[in-house]
Structure 1
Amino acid sequence: MPLYDYHCPACGHRFEALVRTGSTPACPQCGSSALERQISAPVPPGQSKSIIASARRQAAREGHLSNFSKAERGKLG
């Protein structure tokens, strides 16, 4: 199910909703189904060195080494 952003012109409420194919969402504030689907701005994944290091440590613990280069995999073990 995709997550969409909606704007309700009837009451001005903005919200996100998980929508199944073929279903019509309703405004949680006023119940109107005449909604405008908004373009969602994608959020890039965290790029700080500490976040990347933490994700790599977790991946190594779980045995997923695809996010390491060949040189880095050689140093692991």
Structure 2
Amino acid sequence: MPIYEYHCPACDKHFELLVRSSTIPACPQCGSTVLDKCVSAPQAPGKSAGIIKRARARAAAEGHMSNYNQAERGKLLS
């Protein structure tokens, strides 16, 4: 089930819901079903050292070096 972000014009509340295609969403504050679906900003990938290390290891295991800069590629391929 995807998470959607909604705005309720009746009570001016912003909220997120897990919604099935057959479900009609309702505002958790006032119960209105007249809602505006909002465009959510995508989350940027993590920048922690652990996340970067796992992404690089996975890329190398899959046979591509897209996560490595030119100097790092040279070291790995030699």
Report the TM-score range of the alignment, normalised by the length of the smaller protein.
0.5 to 0.7
Task: State the aligned residue count.
Answer: 67
Q: CA deviation at 1:66?
A: 2.5
User: TM-score scaled to structure 1, two decimals?
Assistant: 0.67
User: TM-score scaled to structure 2, two decimals?
Assistant: 0.66
| Deviation by residue 1:3-59 (Cα, 9 ceiling, x = unmatched) | 110000000110001110121111011111110000011012113444312x25986
Distance 2:63 2:8 in 1: 42
Mark the runs of 5 or more structure 2 residues left unpaired by the alignment: 66-72
How many percent of aligned residue pairs carry the same amino acid? 48
CA RMSD in angstroms, aligned pairs only:
2.7
Is the 1:56–1:68 contact (alpha carbons within 8 Å) kept by the matching residues of 2? no
Distance 1:67 1:45 in 2: 21
- Other-structure match for 1:28: 28
- Other-structure match for 1:66: 62
- Other-structure match for 2:40: 40
